[in-house]
Every structure is written in C-alpha cells, then in structure tokens.
C-alpha cells in the first residue's frame, strides 16, 4: 500500500472529498441505539465531554487498540510496551512545560458568560498561533459571541491539566495532575526500559491509556473529550537519524488507518506551520481526517528533538544519555513520536464503515467494519426457535466458536430481521441453523458484504471463520 498524498503538499491544496455517507447525528444515534457509545451519567442529565462505551463499543475500541498494539509492538522487534501510571510526580509536568504552557486561548462572552476556545470561534479558524496570542485580536477581527452576539473578552490562557490531591489532606503540597498525555511516562522510564530490556537505538516505547484534558470547548461526540484514550509511541533515535525516521513513520501510520478501513480520500497530511510548532518540536505533521465537521487531527507525528530527555535529565539530575558502542559516542537521543487517539480512530472507522443500500426495495444499513474491528465476528441464528434441537445445535456452535472469537446467539426475531441487525452492527458472518442441519449436519454461512450464502459442515465453520479473519488481516 502506498501513500497517495505527498506530505509536502500544503493541506489546503488537496481536494475535499465532501461529507461522508453518515453525518454526525447518524453515527451518534446508531451508537446509542446499538450499544456502541452512550452519554456518560445519562440518568443524571449527563456530564459534558465524557462518553461511555457500551457492550459493542468496548469491543470495537479494544479491537482498535489491539490492532495498534499488534502493528506497533507485536510485529516489530524494535518497540516494546509500557503501562505507566496516570498519576506522576508533579515535577514531571513542570519539566515537560505543561504547567507553564499547556494552555488554550479562552474568551468569554460579557453578556451570557459562555466560554469559547478562541481558535474555534466562527471567523477565527484561520488565525495563526502568533495571532492567537495577540491580546487585541478579538477587537481587530470583530469577533462576537456566536450565541448572543455579545462582546467577547480579550483572550487569556487556560491551563488544560486536571488537578487532584494525593493523600488525605487537601493541601497544596499534595497537588498532583491527571496526565494529559501518556508520553511523559515513556520518557521518564527511558533508562529503565533501555537497560532492563538491553535495547540499542533505535527503539521505541508504546503505550495505550487514558489521558485527561480540561478542554475549553469539547464536543463533536468522542472527537474532543475531557477523558479520552491515547495510543502513543516514542521512538528513540540517533539525532542524525531523526529526520529519516520521521519520514518513515508517516506512510506507516497512514497505511495503518487505510488497512483497517479508513477511506484514503478522507485522509491528508498537514504540516504544522513554524509558529504552530510546540516549543520543543523540530517538525510536526498531522494525519487529518475529514470528519463530518471538517478536517481535523487524527494523529500527530512529531520530531521532538532532544527536548524531552534533555529536560528530564537536567531537572532530575539523572544521566539520560545513551552510549553508542558502535561509534563510542555519548548523546541524548532524539524522539520521534506517533500520537494517535483511541477514541478518534474508532470514530473514524465507524464513519467510513457506515453505508446504506437498497435491497429488494428495503433500506439496508451496513457497518462494513474490517472483520478485525467488528465487535462480533460471527452470529449464530436458529431459523426456527420452536425446534429445541435447532436451538440446541445453534447454542452449542456459538459456545464452541466463542472459545476463539466473539460470537453471539440471537433468536429474538425472524431471520431477515436478525440479518439486518447484524449488518447494522458490522458482524461479518452469520451462521444459520435450519431443519436440514439436523439431517445433513451442515449450516448456512452468510457474508455481510456480498450477502452470499454457502452451505458448510458444522465442524468446518470455525476453521472457515478463522481463515477468513486471517485473510482479512493479511489484506
């Protein structure tokens, strides 16, 4: 698979593929109706910017995280995993620069007191980072509250880190932060991992886990939440090889999304402008996705230079240099980071999987999810639930399949409706047990995409499903 878009072409010159089949409402309502994602604490009126993954959502999300882990850890001999704590020594966030500058520009309506992130206001989307820091920008641009048209305050910086208290007494000394990224856990463990795993450069540390940001204007479903998940990998390299590694990670990460079902026409690279780069970054390119609400970041790929290990070494007093036995040099490694979202990625796959078709005059909604991502790989359905032998055979088959894959049994409707239900949640294969099965020991396997049906001996069903899953994984 190749990357069709050249990362050096400015993003705005690339064609817009237009909206997806599924708009935001379609995905939000399907997610709720079919048990993928619910608003958090809904019976209490909900809590802004937190979402709960339902029975199918947790399967989808786990499958996405597992696919990432397979590509980033299991299949590579130069990357290892880590699961660092969400709470870290507060000094980590001082050294990383988060305490001083992990902030967004906040403006407030003087009339209704609603608060907005300046760069998300209508008419402010194109502001450069320099302009976003300009105290007169609201006036100069004539920006107004989008709801009340009221006057807006001058922007002030709002730190996005959540604070909490460690220990029984709420005192300043015990303030700790909920991590806003997983990356710092990998940096402070660089030496532990390198030494205990006897690693030579280049090597990477991968982490998947929760992060927290007190976003000023969360929204657009799971795109921007206050509690979310990240899939981040830090690749430690020789400084003179960082640019090459950076370039190599771009197509790899692009291809990962495409192989799992993202539509490449809805992806693009966007390089950060010089004034947009974080203070530590040498170069940053985002993989953006054309969400129903516009082009937005899906993943960031960053050349972070030696900022992270250099700063932690200086602040902690620990020597975080690497000794290269080949060249006999001591140096602080550079870091190339790939920072993806464990919520944005499944969201993207849901959007691209959704399609509506007309079959014999009826609407068929299909989630054409990659089989590896589908919550259930197979559904076992009895044609006649009144025949106990059919039900028994179907349940036995499901139990056997469930030892290897997520398999579900359903007899709560007629077969046509059962198929539609499985189509709508993305189950790639349905197995139907009918009267003939009792005589010939064979069942019908139906393919979600083609709706083709084939007769298969019961004892061959598991092999067939596992082979098709493996084939889908190979692409």
Q: Which residues between 164 and 203 bind ligand ATP (CB under 6 A)?
A: 181
Q: Does 230 bind ligand ATP (CB under 6 A)?
A: yes
Does 426 interact with ligand ATP (rule: CB under 6 A)? no
Of the candidate residues 131, 288, 299, 352, the single one contacting ligand ATP (CB under 6 A): 299
49 Cβ contact list (under 8 Å, min separation 6): 215, 218, 219, 224, 225, 226, 227
Q: How far is the CB of 28 from ligand ATP (least distance, A)?
A: 15
Which of residues 131 and 299 has its CB atom nearest to ligand ATP in the complex?
Answer: 299
343 near ligand ATP (CB under 6 A): yes
204 binds ligand ATP (CB under 6 A): no
The reply to whether 98 sits near ligand ATP by the rule CB under 6 A is no
3-state secondary structure of 293: coil
Distance in Å, CB of 37 to ligand ATP, minimum: 13
Q: How far apart are CA 234 and CA 194, in angstroms?
A: 13
| Distance separating alpha carbons of residues 254 and 340, to the nearest angstrom | 11
Q: Which is nearer to ligand ATP, 34 or 344 (CB)?
A: 344
> What residues between 344 and 403 interact with ligand ATP by CB under 6 A?
344
**Which of 340, 381, 443, 469 lies at the binding interface for ligand ATP (CB under 6 A)?**
340
297 binds ligand ATP (CB under 6 A): yes
Q: Based on CB atoms, which residue is closest to ligand ATP, 176 or 340?
A: 340
SS (H, E, C) 324-350: ECCCCEEECCEEEEEEEECCHHHHHHH
Query: Does residue number 339 form part of the binding site for ligand ATP (CB under 6 A)?
Result: yes
Residue whose CB is less far from ligand ATP, 126 or 358? 126
First-residue to last-residue Cα distance in the chain = 10
Q: How far is the CB of 381 from ligand ATP (least distance, A)?
A: 36
Stretch that binds ligand ATP, among 83-91, 336-344, 414-422, 431-439 (CB under 6 A): 336-344
Write the CB contacts of 440 (distance below 8 Å, at least 6 apart in sequence).
none
Helix H segments across 372-434?
A: 388-401, 415-425
- Counting residues that bind ligand ATP (by CB under 6 A) gives 16
338 vs 251: CA distance, rounded Å: 12
215 touches ligand ATP (CB under 6 A): yes
* 341 contributes a contact to ligand ATP by CB under 6 A: yes
- In the bound state with ligand ATP, the residue whose beta carbon lies nearer, of 285 and 379, is 285
Residue by residue, DSSP assigns 21-77 as SS-HHHHHHHHHHTTSEEETTGGGT--TT-EEE-HHHHHHHHHHHHHHHIIIIIT-S
Q: Which of 98, 199, 213, 290 binds ligand ATP (CB under 6 A)?
A: 213
* Separation CA 395–CA 410 (nearest Å): 9
Q: How far is the CB of 291 from ligand ATP (least distance, A)?
A: 11
Task: For ligand ATP, give the closer residue by CB, 299 or 434.
Answer: 299
In angstroms and rounded to an integer, the radius of gyration of the C-alpha atoms of the chain is: 25
Verify binding: residue 288, ligand ATP, rule CB under 6 A.
Answer: no
| Residue 420 CB burial class (10 angstroms; 0-12, 13-18, ≥19) | middle
The residues that bridge with 447 in the sheet, in sequence order, are 429
- Give yes or no for residue 271 binding ligand ATP (CB under 6 A): no
Residues 6+ apart with CB under 8 A from 367: 30, 350, 353, 354, 374, 423, 424, 425, 426
Q: Does 224 bind ligand ATP (CB under 6 A)?
A: yes
SS3 content of the chain, % helix, strand, coil (to 5): 35, 30, 35
Shortest distance in whole angstroms from residue 189 CB to ligand ATP: 19
The region that residue 167 occupies, defined by phi over 0 for left and psi between -120 and 50 for alpha, beta otherwise, is: left
The residues of the shown chain that bind ligand ATP, judged by CB under 6 A, are: 181, 213, 215, 224-225, 228, 230, 297-300, 339-341, 343-344
């Amino acid at each position: 698979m190749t990357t069709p878009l050249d990362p050096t072409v400015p993003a705005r010159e690339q064609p817009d593929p237009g909206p997806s089949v599924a708009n935001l409402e379609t995905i939000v309502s399907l997610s709720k109706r079919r048990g993928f994602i619910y608003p958090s604490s809904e019976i209490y009126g909900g809590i802004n910017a937190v979402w709960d993954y339902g029975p199918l959502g947790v399967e989808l999300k786990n499958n996405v995280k597992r696919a990432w882990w397979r590509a980033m850890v299991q299949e590579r001999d130069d990357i290892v995993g880590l699961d660092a704590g969400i709470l870290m020594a507060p000094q980590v966030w001082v050294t990383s620069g988060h305490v001083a500058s992990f902030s967004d520009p906040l403006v407030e309506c003087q009339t209704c007191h609603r608060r907005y992130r300046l760069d998300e206001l209508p008419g402010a989307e194109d502001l450069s980072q320099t302009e976003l820091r300009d105290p007169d920008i609201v006036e100069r641009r004539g920006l107004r509250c989008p709801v009340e048209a009221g006057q807006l305050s001058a922007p002030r910086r709002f730190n996005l880190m959540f604070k909490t208290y460690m220990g029984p007494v709420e005192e300043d000394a015990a303030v700790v932060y909920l991590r806003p990224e997983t990356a710092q856990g990998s940096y402070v463990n660089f030496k532990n991992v390198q030494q205990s795993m006897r690693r030579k450069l280049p090597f990477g540390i991968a982490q998947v886990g929760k992060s927290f940001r007190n976003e000023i204007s969360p929204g657009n479903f799971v795109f921007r939440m206050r509690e979310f998940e990240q899939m981040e990998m830090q690749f430690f390299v020789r400084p003179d090889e960082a640019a090459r590694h950076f370039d190599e990670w771009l197509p790899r990460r692009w291809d990962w999304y495409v192989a799992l079902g993202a539509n490449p026409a809805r992806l693009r690279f966007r390089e950060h402008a010089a004034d947009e780069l974080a203070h530590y970054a040498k170069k940053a390119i985002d993989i953006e996705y054309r969400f129903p609400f516009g082009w937005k970041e899906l993943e960031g790929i960053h050349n972070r230079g030696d900022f992270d290990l250099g700063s932690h070494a200086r602040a902690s007093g620990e020597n975080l240099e690497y000794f290269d036995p080949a060249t006999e040099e001591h140096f602080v490694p550079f870091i190339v980071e790939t920072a993806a979202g464990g919520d944005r990625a499944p969201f993207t796959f849901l959007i691209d999987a959704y399609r509506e078709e007309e079959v014999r005059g009826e609407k068929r909604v299909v989630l054409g999810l990659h089989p590896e991502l589908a919550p259930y790989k197979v559904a076992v359905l009895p044609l006649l639930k009144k025949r106990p032998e059919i039900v028994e055979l179907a349940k036995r088959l499901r139990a056997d399949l469930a030892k290897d894959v997520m398999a579900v049994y359903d007899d709560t409707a007629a077969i046509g409706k059962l198929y539609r239900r499985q189509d709508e949640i993305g189950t790639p294969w349905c197995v139907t047990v009918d009267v003939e099965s009792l005589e010939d020991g064979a069942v019908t396997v139906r393919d979600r995409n083609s709706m083709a049906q084939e007769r298969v001996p019961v004892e061959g069903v598991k092999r067939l499903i596992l082979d098709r899953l493996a084939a889908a994984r190979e692409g």
